[in-house]
A and B are shown apart, each in its own frame.
Chain A
């Protein structure tokens, strides 16, 4: 399974996402923001970082990159897409996911081992998990507050599109403690915490994050 990882100017966790794909048994493929070709990959990851320095708004400029035209088209056709942190911000700006991310309510960057609960396990990226499973995954962001209007939030909740929720502490003021959401078809997922940093107890709080990457390998086969 070939999983593309896009590098925008300012992307930081692209190499780490590639490592996570490798650990999960997939083949990471580096994709350049300026190319509108995604090299026939089976799924795409938009990694964490500060694309374009977070200028204007996080992800606001990256969403117009040539590669994103193709990613959006392929996503509409069912290709799985995972947006991590800045990637989540880009997916919201590109309207592949509802809502938006604003500055943390505490006004500072927060880096912590964050407890999450997995709720939607029918998505392309969370099928390896059990509903209600607790994970500890690093969160490291300054603009991680998830917001949407009440109607949208109700729709996301009732449609089972909340993928992961903050459990022990809400670190950034996200509405309804939402840490990640999915598209209606469950193929596109965005989350603020970084599963690619929880793949090995040697370098992170554990290996709870690996499931995101193993899930998509089975999802792609099934598609």
Chain B
């Protein structure tokens, strides 16, 4: 298992990329999609077991480096890598 950090732009921040993706989805016929916001996902490989202490540490890493709290929100959780999930 990895630790996954997901970072998204804050709701009040303009997300032109998300808007461009939405327009493209509509052009392709996916008109049921009414909104898109684009963010980042970090997959961190960690030595040893991932307990609350580890997650707290990585929360610090997330808020210091991986996300910019001025413009982004984030969550940290245990999770499978996309590669493993999609295999």
B70 close to A100 (CB less than 8 A): yes
* CB < 8 Å A-B pair total: 35
| Total interface residues in chain B, CB < 8 Å | 12
Is B17 a contact partner of A107 (Cβ separation < 8 A)?
yes
| A149 in contact with B65 given A92-B70, A103-B17, A107-B17 (CB within 8 Å) | no
Q: Is residue A102 within 8 Å, beta carbon to beta carbon, of the partner chain? A: yes
Given contacts A57-B68, A99-B70, contact A173 B14 (CB under 8 A): yes
Among residues 44 to 87 in chain B, which have CB atoms less than 8 Å away from a CB atom of chain A? 65-66, 68, 70-71
Decide yes or no whether B20 CB sits under 8 A from chain A.
yes
What 1/0 mask marks residues of chain B from 5 to 20 whose CB sits below 8 Å from any chain A CB?
A: 0000100111011001
Interfacial chain B residues near A57, Cβ < 8 Å? 68
State the main secondary structure of chain A at its contact with B.
Answer: loop
Interface residues on A, range: 20 to 34
Q: Is the CB of B70 within 8 A of A107?
A: no
Determine how close the nearest CB of chain B comes to the CB of A191; give it in whole angstroms.
Answer: 18
Say yes or no for A93: interface residue by CB 8 A criterion: yes
Docked pose: A67 CA to B9 CA in angstroms: 29
Taking CB atoms and an 8 Å cut-off, the chain A residues in 136-191 that contact chain B are 145, 147-149, 173
Complex contacts, A202 vs chain B, CB 8 Å? none
Is the CB–CB distance between A56 and B65 below 8 Å?
Answer: yes
CA distance A145 to B17 in the complex (A): 13
Among B12, B13, B70, find the residue whose CB has the most chain A CB atoms closer than 10 A.
B70
B65 nearest CB neighbor, chain A only:
A60
Chain A interface (Cβ within 8 Å of chain B)? 56-57, 60, 64, 92-93, 98-100, 102-107, 145, 147-149, 173
